[in-house]
Amino acid sequence: MSNLSDLLPSGGGQNIVDFVADGSISSGQAVALTSAGKAKAISATANAAQLPLGSINEFDTNTNKYYGTDIQFDPHNSNRVGVAFKNGSSYPTFILGTISEAGVITFGTAVVVDSVASNTGVSFAFDPLNADKIVIIYYYPTIGVRAKVGTLSGTSSSFGSADTLYSRSTSSTDDKTIRPGRVAFDLSKTSTSTFGCIFYRQGDSSMGFHCGTYSGTSISAGNKVNYSANLSVNMGVDCNSDGTFVIGVRGASNLYVQVITAGISGVTPSLSSVQTVKSAEGGDGYFVTFDPNNKLKCGIAYEISSVGKCQIITLSGTGSSATITAGTEATYYNGNVSESRRFVFDKNASNGSLLVGYVEDSTTDLYVAVGTYDDSDTNNTITFTANTLMHDNSAAGFPQQPFFNGGTSSGYVGFVFVLDSDSDGQVQLGQFSSSNVADFIGLADAAISNTATGKINVKGSINSKQSSLTIGSDYYVQSDGSVSTTSTSPAVKIGQAVTATTINMMDLT
C-alpha cells in the first residue's frame, strides 16, 4: 500500500446509485436530483425562469409616492436585497431584506437616512469592492445633493455623516429644484471605492455628474462637471468594468432618446457630448444597463408614441471618449406603455437573455418582456418570446414610479413600486433561469446519455473521474457545475481530494 487512496477504491462504501439522466451527463460531472427523481447536470441555467416568483412583498405601509424608490441586489450576497424610498414624512429611508427560494423577502427594520422632507427621489448602490457597504444619495432642499455611507449587518443598516456633493445656490432659480438621479460605482477601480452620480437642475434643464470616494463611513466628494444642454429628468446611469459610465438622457427640446458617456480619472469626471440613440420623441426615463457578460454592450428601453421600444447599444472606446453604435430597434410591447424602465440581463447566461419591465397603460399591470439578443450579429437583433404578467394592479391602483432591477448570481430580478390606493411600498420578485446546485446529489461515475440509466457516486462514495485536484483540499460544486476549492455560497461541499483525480465524497449528513 503506497498511499491513502489504496484504502478508498472507486465506489468505496458502495454508495453508487443508478439514475435516469435528464439530459446528457459527462464523466465526473456534478449532478442534481430533479423533482422527477432523475439526475441532471448542474448548471447556472438548469431551472426554468419563474416570472413572477412568489407573492408581493410589502416593505412599508406609509410610503411617500412622489418620486422616489430604488431597488438593488447585493453583489456579495445573492439573497440580500435593499430598497431605498421615502417614508410617510418624505424622509429618505432604507431597508434590507433576505430572499428565500420561494421568493419571500424577510425585511429588517427601516432606517431613516436623514430626517428631512425631500421632494425628490432617493437612490443607492452596493459597493462591489467592499461587502456590507452602500452609498446612498438624496436631496436636502436647503443644502443640495447629499450622500451617506451605509454599513450593513444582516438586515440591519446604519449610516455615517452626510457629505454635500452639490451645494444648492439659494440665489439661483436654477438650483431651486434639483433631482438627484442614479448612483453607480466605478467598476474599474480595484483599490478605492469610487462612485459617480447624476443630478438634474430643473430650472435650466442641465445635468451634473459627480464623483466621490469614501473611507470607513466618511465620504470625500470629488469634482463635478455640468452638461448645460437642455436635458430632461429621470436619468439613469450604469458602469462597466472599463470604468465607462453610460447615462440615459432625453433632450428637453427635441425629446430624442440620447446617451452621454463618462469616465472618472482620480476624482475628476469627464463627459462626452450627447449621442443620439433614436431621433424621435420618446417618453421619459431612460435607464441604460450594461450586459454583465459583455462590457461593450448595453440595453436601453424607451417609448415612441407610447409604444415600447428598445435596442442594444455597442460601445467603442472608454470613458468620455466612448462612442456608441445603435443596434436594430425592437418592439417589446406593441401597445400603450405608461412607464418604460430599464433592461435586466441574465448574468448567469451567455446567450444574451434579457428582460424589459414596463407598465401597460390601460390596465396599469406590471409586465416583463422576455427575450434574447445575438451579440455576434452586428445589428444586435433582439427577439422577444413572451410578455409575462408580473402583477395585476388594476384593482389596487396605479403603481407609482416602478423601478426594475436585478441580475444576481441567483438570477433574481425585482420591481419596486408604491400603490396609489394605500401608499404601500411593495416588491415583486422574479427569477431568471437559475442553478440547481442546491439539489446536488453526487458525481457521475461515467458518461450517461440523455434518458439512459447510469451510475452516480453519491455522498459516502468515491469518485475518481476528476483531474488536477490538490490532495488534502476540500472541494465544492459551484453554481455553474464546476468543481473547485471555492466555498462561497451557493457552493455545496463535495468532499476532500485524496489523489489528483479522486474525491472522497464525505457523508455530510
107: which strand partners?
97
Q: CA 503 to CA 480: how far, in whole Å? A: 19
pLDDT at 493: 95
Q: What is the mean pLDDT of each run of 10 residues along the chain (509 residues)?
A: 44 77 97 96 90 94 83 92 94 96 94 92 94 95 91 98 84 62 92 91 78 95 81 78 92 82 95 91 79 93 90 96 95 86 83 89 87 85 94 66 75 86 89 90 97 95 96 95 91 96 81
pLDDT at 1: 37
- DSSP assignment of 421-447, as one string? TT--EEEEEEE-SB--GGGEEEEESS-
Burial group, residue 273, by CB count within 10 angstroms (0-12, 13-18, 19+): exposed
Residue 142: Cβ within 10 Å count: 7
pLDDT at 397: 62
Domains and CATH numbers, the chain: 4-45+436-504 (2.40.300), 57-431 (2.120.10.70)
**CB within 8 A of 203, min separation 6: which ones?**
172, 173, 174, 175, 176, 177
Q: CA 67 to CA 234: how far, in whole Å? A: 9
Q: CA 182 to CA 482: how far, in whole Å? A: 36
* Predicted structure pTM score: 0.86
pLDDT at 419: 81
160 in Cβ contact with 218 (< 8 Å): yes
Q: CA 69 to CA 76: how far, in whole Å? A: 22
φ/ψ of residue 351, rounded to 5:
-100, 20
Residue 390: Cβ within 10 Å count: 25
492 in Cβ contact with 438 (< 8 Å): yes
β 194-201/163-167 pair status:
unpaired
Q: CA 86 to CA 213: how far, in whole Å? A: 25
